[in-house]
């Protein structure tokens, strides 16, 4: 509904009030549009598999777990700053719980677990270095720990207050990229990590 400035005012006053009314009408319309638009998924994390490859590479190359484990956690956040695509890119928040996306996330998790366990068992049974195996295992966990802590926020409507700082950091660091570039960057991360692993324990 269009608001008409009151009559009996000077031409200048009428123009001033018209600008005022138009401005507030536009603000109200914009607010209503925002309320009507479902929120998109706020976090588009890098896939778990590249994170685990990075953690394994750190565990294989940095022998001291006191340094390696915190480094693997820190590299998770740096990894999220790499332009990437994931299964929640450009989706509504409710879409993450239905259709093919939860299945794809579980498949990515299974591959990531397989990578971490394979590297751990290789260090234990082939290299025969239990300390190295433990270091790789812990770094693999550390590399995905921020995403694991964010799980309640991603898959439910609840966000534990104690974990809110991690959610905020993750949200601010994400660098979303379209297909295919958002996948190619993660393949580069995997290949670079594999080279480090091969040179360290291969």
pLDDT tens digits along 65-110: 999 999 999 999 999 888 878 766 665 566 666 777 788 889 999 9
DSSP-derived letter for residue 39 is: P
Contacts of 19 (CB under 8 A, 6+ apart): none
**pLDDT confidence band for 40 (50 / 70 / 90):** very low
DSSP-derived letter for residue 90 is: T
Where do the H-state alpha helices sit in 62-202? 65-80, 101-121, 130-149, 151-155, 164-173, 181-201
Q: What is the model's pLDDT at position 166? A: 75
Q: What is the model's pLDDT at position 17? A: 54
Q: What is the model's pLDDT at position 62? A: 97
- Of 54 and 176, the structure prediction assigns the larger pLDDT to 54
**pLDDT confidence band for 59 (50 / 70 / 90):** very high
Contacts of 92 (CB under 8 A, 6+ apart): 38, 39, 40, 41
- Of 133 and 1, the structure prediction assigns the larger pLDDT to 133
Q: Would the pTM of this model clear 0.75, i.e. be above it?
A: no
**pLDDT confidence band for 143 (50 / 70 / 90):** very high
Q: What percent of the chain has pLDDT over 90?
A: 44
User: Rounded to whole angstroms, how far apart are CA atoms 55 and 49?
Assistant: 10
């Amino acid at each position: 509904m269009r608001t008409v400035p009151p009559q009996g005012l000077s031409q200048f006053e009428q123009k001033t009030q018209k600008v005022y009314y138009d401005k507030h009408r536009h603000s109200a319309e914009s607010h209503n549009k925002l309320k009507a638009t479902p929120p998109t998924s706020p976090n588009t994390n890098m896939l778990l598999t590249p994170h685990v490859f990075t953690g394994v590479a750190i565990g294989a190359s940095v022998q001291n777990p006191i340094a390696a484990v915190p480094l693997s956690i820190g590299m998770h956040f740096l990894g999220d700053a790499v332009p990437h695509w994931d299964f929640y890119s450009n989706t509504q928040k409710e879409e993450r719980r239905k259709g093919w996306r939860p299945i794809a996330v579980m498949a990515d998790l299974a591959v990531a677990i397989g990578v971490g366990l394979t590297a751990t068992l290789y260090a234990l049974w082939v290299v025969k270095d239990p300390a190295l195996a433990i270091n790789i295992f812990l770094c693999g966990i550390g590399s995905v720990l921020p995403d694991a802590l964010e799980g309640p926020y991603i898959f439910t409507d609840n966000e534990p207050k104690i974990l809110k700082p991690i959610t905020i950091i993750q949200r601010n660091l994400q660098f979303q990229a379209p297909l295919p570039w958002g996948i190619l960057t993660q393949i580069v991360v995997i290949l670079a990590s594999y080279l480090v692993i091969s040179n360290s324990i291969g």
